[in-house]
Structure 1
Amino acid sequence: MNLALKKMYLENWDNLSNELKGILNDDTKEYKPTNPLLIYLDEEKYKSSDIKIMIFGQETNDWGDDFNGDPDDALNTYNDFFNSNACYGYGGHFWNGLNRFLTLLNQKFPDKTIGSIWNNVIKVGNSGRNKNNPPEYIYNIEKTYFNVIESEIEILQPNIILFVSGPYYDVEIRNSLPDVSFGKLSDSFSERAIAKLKFKNLNNVYRTYHPNYLWRKGINNYFYEIINDINLGF
């Protein structure tokens, strides 16, 4: 899987790299791109897991500083941060939220192993820890030259996908997955709060609020609603 991911990234890399370097060298552009979020698996653990889940956040700002044009460096950064579990030591609402969801999911399936992947709806964020969404001149480059999320899903075949990106990022989800559709999960929550997504043959795809919001509104209630709907055929 790692080889397939890297091959796919490299097939899309040259144009992305040339365009992003152009922004770095353009003094008229206030915001500069950081490195893209490239997935690198703990492949043995992931392949052997009974449950495979991909969890999407929003975007990663200042991911390895300014874009440096080195895909191997981006892959190593992901491996060092996520597969080592250093991400959970980083703390914050997002990582605590992911940990809470995985804990509750494990409670529903206590005899099953879980392999998790972290991803982002926007793959190229701002450099310099600027927390704003990347400007259109960065985002449009990603969507034109590096629209790879559908390919990542095809390679990794998760049986659960959870977007904790919030409703304001639904347009970005649609830009990445053109055939996706959104619907209401249940009468307990609005579609804005929790949506169940249909995408190809995947049955367990959901979108809810970002953990920053969920921690203030009763995070377990939202996560239980999603987890109770998950059907993996066990």
Structure 2
Amino acid sequence: MNTQLQNIYNEKWNTFSIKLNEILQDDLKENKPTNPLLLFINEEKYQNADIKIMIFGQETNDWAGNFQNDINISINTYDEFYNSNACYSYGKQFWNGFNRFLTLLNKKFPNKKIEAIWNNVIKVGNSGRDKNYPPEYIYNIEKEYFNIINDEINILNPDIILFMSGPNYDNEIRNSLKNIQFEHFSQNFSERQIAKLNYHNFKNIYRTYHPNYLWRNNINSYFSEIINDIKL
């Protein structure tokens, strides 16, 4: 699986990297791109899991500094940060929410091995201290030249996909997953709060708010609503 992922990254890398380097060299563009979030999994654990889940955040900012035109930097940074569990000591609301969802999922399926993959809706964030949505001149390069989320999902084939990105990122999800449909499924929450997504043959895809919002609004009730709907 890691080989398949890296093949996809390599296939799209050349023009993508040229375009990002042009931004780095353009003094008129204040925001510079960081390195893309590229996945690297523990294949043995993932393939032996009973339940495979991919959880999306929004974007990764300042991911090993300015874009360096080196796939291995992105892959190694992901491996060292996520697969080593260093992410949980990061102390941010997203990771607390990520862990809470897995804890609640494990309570519903106590006899199942669960393996989670972290991903982001936007692959290339800002370098430096700017922690906001990247400017269009960065995002448009990703959208046109490095639109890989569909490939990652098809390679890893998760049983559950959860977007903890919030409704303001729905257009970015649509840009990555063509013809995806958002539906209202809950009697307790609006579609903006929790949506169920229909995409190809994947059964369990959901989008809810980022944990920064959920922790202020009874996070367990949101996650339980999703988990109770999951069919495996």
Size of the alignment, in residue pairs?
Answer: 232
SS in 2 for 1:162: strand
Structure 1 residue identity aligned to 2:178: P
Residue matched to 1:109? 109
1:191 equivalenced with 2:187 (yes/no): no
Residue matched to 2:150? 150
Structure 2 unmatched ranges of 5 or more: none
Within a 5 Å distance, the mapping from 1:66-77 to structure 2 comes to 66-77=66-77
Residue matched to 1:216? 216
Structure 1 residue identity aligned to 2:218: G
SS in 2 for 1:134: coil
Within a 5 Å distance, the mapping from 1:12-161 to structure 2 comes to 12-161=12-161
SS in 1 for 2:104: helix
How far apart are the structure 1 equivalents of 2:156 and 2:129? 29
Structure 1 residue identity aligned to 2:162: L
How far apart are the structure 2 equivalents of 1:200 and 1:186? 21
Structure 2 residue identity aligned to 1:40: F
CA shift digits 1:75-94 (9 cap, x unpaired)? 00000000000000111110
Residue matched to 1:174? 174
How far apart are the structure 2 equivalents of 1:67 and 1:204? 34
The Cα of 1:129 is off from its aligned counterpart by 2.5
Residue matched to 1:206? 206
Structure 1 residue identity aligned to 2:84: S
How far apart are the structure 2 equivalents of 1:64 and 1:185? 39
Structure 1 unmatched ranges of 5 or more: none
The Cα of 1:131 is off from its aligned counterpart by 1.2
How far apart are the structure 2 equivalents of 1:41 and 1:132? 27
SS in 1 for 2:203: strand
Q: Which runs of 4+ in 1 moved over 4 A?
A: none
The Cα of 1:179 is off from its aligned counterpart by 1.3
